[in-house]
Amino acid sequence: MKKTFLGVRLKRLREEHRLTQAALAAKLGISLSYLNQLENNQRPLTLPVALALNKTFGLDIQSFSEDDEARLIADLREAVADPALGETIATSDLRELALNMPAIGRTLVALSQRYRQAIEQSAALSARLGEDRQAASAILPSTPFEEVRDFFYAQHNYIPELDEAAEAIALRMNLPPGRMAPALSSFLEDRGMTILIGGSTESGLQREFDRQTRTVRLSSSLHPGQQAFQLATHIAFLDFDDAIRSIVSNAAFTSDESRGLARIGLAHYFAGALVLPYSAFLQEAQRRRYDIELLGHTFGVGFETACHRLSTLQRHNARGVPFFFIRVDRAGNISKRQSATDFHFSRVGGTCPLWNVYEAFACPGRILTQLARMPDGRTYLWIARTVSHSQGGYRAPGKTFAVALGCDVRHAGSVVYSEGLDIDPAIATPIGMGCKVCERPNCPQRAFPPIGHALNVDETRAHFAPYATSS
């Protein structure tokens, strides 16, 4: 274990649990003077203390010492990547801030986000008023979707109260994995509702509810796993709406639209937890070494749904591999992104074309694997595959996405997709978070210069001249 100094974080942990130094020292089984040295960064964190922290507070030491720091460093790097600041801040300085003064770092990130939102709103207003349309159109206004994504990101994509409640229902009803739709239909029918499966909903939605007749109508295009998910979503709104509203009200959402989207997202989270109960799904995932297709067959769900659930397995004392989940279209638009740990999805300048999630479109239906290294040296195992959705006939337009699931390379041995790969960070594909915030100066796929970094004239001509050609 490398030397890790976490004095400020230990103080914050103690304050959050309202413990004195003596009380925390007693819980960890160390002397008061030793804890005082740890909190003042005079001694590094040792493995026995790390294990005691995990046992007492449920803190994964890797997450405690590296992941939170990496998340904050990435957010800080993006916050200061503004040429108007007139100064480039070294990564070592950002790491020092994230490690020793994380509260100040988070405050700076929050201020940066508010500043960016104000600039974007100003640009949008200018566009509506016809002033400087070109400048206004260059910046997209922030959306409630991004706000809801940030909420789940801050929760490490795990909502314990909903996950545990959903699993309790699944256990009480003895729901059969992969065959839940009939049982959930019976559950709702016992509550005085009528379930109609087949035909089409009037609005084209997958689920409609008529309050007068208490009829739940599901689209005929849904397979049994999707039927179960939609019925589970209805149960979420029926029985857990108060709990969902309480979670939303305690979050710092800024608009009614954001709060509405958050309610839908939380209901969908509950539905996924009911159709894929935590303990049963985790046990099967570990037994199958996280083979997504086998999990889909066992639980009667699609590839994307299984990937999404794998990114939520972060219950205290029963954690799965901490995965990151993303869904993109051919144009690079990110429609879903969830992170159980520290992988940072950029909000600026798109994503990296060297990432295998984009290569998946050239190999539809095939699972692609990639060992990828970020600019900070951290290496990840990624898998990607396309998924398609169609709800109509021959002429109806379909939807095709690429979904990707990734984890830190240290977990690669637990995942079946690492078989046959050379897990050597030195030969990993170098990728970044997006050209505007990526620090790799010689990347052949760079689309434009990084924000706040000037390239020389030759580099500018070679990479970004309007009519430049490759030799």
Please give the helix or strand (H or E) that residue 197 lies within, else none.
strand 194-197
Query: What is the C-alpha separation between 160 and 393, in angstroms, rounded?
Result: 40
Give the CATH number for residue 147.
Answer: 1.10.10.2910
The residue-averaged pLDDT of 38-42 equals 83
List, for residues 152-177, the tens digit of each pLDDT value: 888 888 999 999 999 999 999 998 98
The residue-averaged pLDDT of 263-267 equals 96
Instruction: Please report how the helices 21-28 and 7-16 are oriented relative to each other, as an axis angle in degrees rounded to 10.
Output: 100
Whether 12 is covered by a domain: the verdict is yes
Q: How many domains does the chain have?
A: 2
- Shared domain for 15 and 90, answered yes or no, is yes
Residue 37 CB-density burial (10 A; 0-12 exposed, 13-18 middle, 19+ buried): middle
Whether 199 is covered by a domain: the verdict is yes
pLDDT of residue 442: 80
pLDDT of residue 325: 93
Query: What is the C-alpha separation between 39 and 460, in angstroms, rounded?
Result: 48
- Which residues face 386 on adjacent strands? 402
Whether residue 392 has pLDDT greater than 50: yes
Which of 74, 104, 134 is at the close of a domain? Answer: 104
- Shared domain for 97 and 155, answered yes or no, is no
Whether 37 is covered by a domain: the verdict is yes
pLDDT of residue 138: 43
Whether residue 127 has pLDDT greater than 60: no
Torsion of CA 111, 116, 122, 128, to 10 degrees: -140
Q: How confident is the model at residue 210 (pLDDT cuts 50, 70, 90)?
A: confident
In terms of pLDDT, which residue wins out, 59 or 345?
59
Select the highest-mean-pLDDT range: 75-84, 248-257, 271-280, 397-406: 271-280
Buried b (16+ CB within 10 A) or exposed e, 88-123: eeeeeebbebbbeebeebeebbeebbeebeeebeeb
Domain enclosing residue 268, as ranges = 143-275
Assigned token pair, 27? 């819980």
pLDDT of residue 102: 77
Whether residue 17 has pLDDT greater than 90: no
- Is residue 318 classed as helix, strand or coil in its secondary structure? strand
Query: What is the C-alpha separation between 26 and 21, in angstroms, rounded?
Result: 9
Lowest mean pLDDT among 76-80, 373-377, 388-392: 388-392
pLDDT of residue 203: 56
Lowest mean pLDDT among 2-6, 309-313, 354-358, 441-445: 2-6
In terms of pLDDT, which residue wins out, 443 or 241?
241
> Considering the entire predicted model, what is its pTM?
0.72
Instruction: Please report how the helices 256-275 and 241-250 are oriented relative to each other, as an axis angle in degrees rounded to 10.
Output: 130
- Is residue 207 classed as helix, strand or coil in its secondary structure? strand
Query: What is the C-alpha separation between 241 and 251, in angstroms, rounded?
Result: 15
In terms of pLDDT, which residue wins out, 64 or 336?
336
pLDDT of residue 461: 47
Whether residue 135 has pLDDT greater than 50: no
- Shared domain for 221 and 167, answered yes or no, is yes
Is the CA virtual torsion 296, 301, 304, 307 positive or negative? negative
- Shared domain for 64 and 11, answered yes or no, is yes
Whether residue 75 has pLDDT greater than 90: no
- Which residues face 196 on adjacent strands? 217
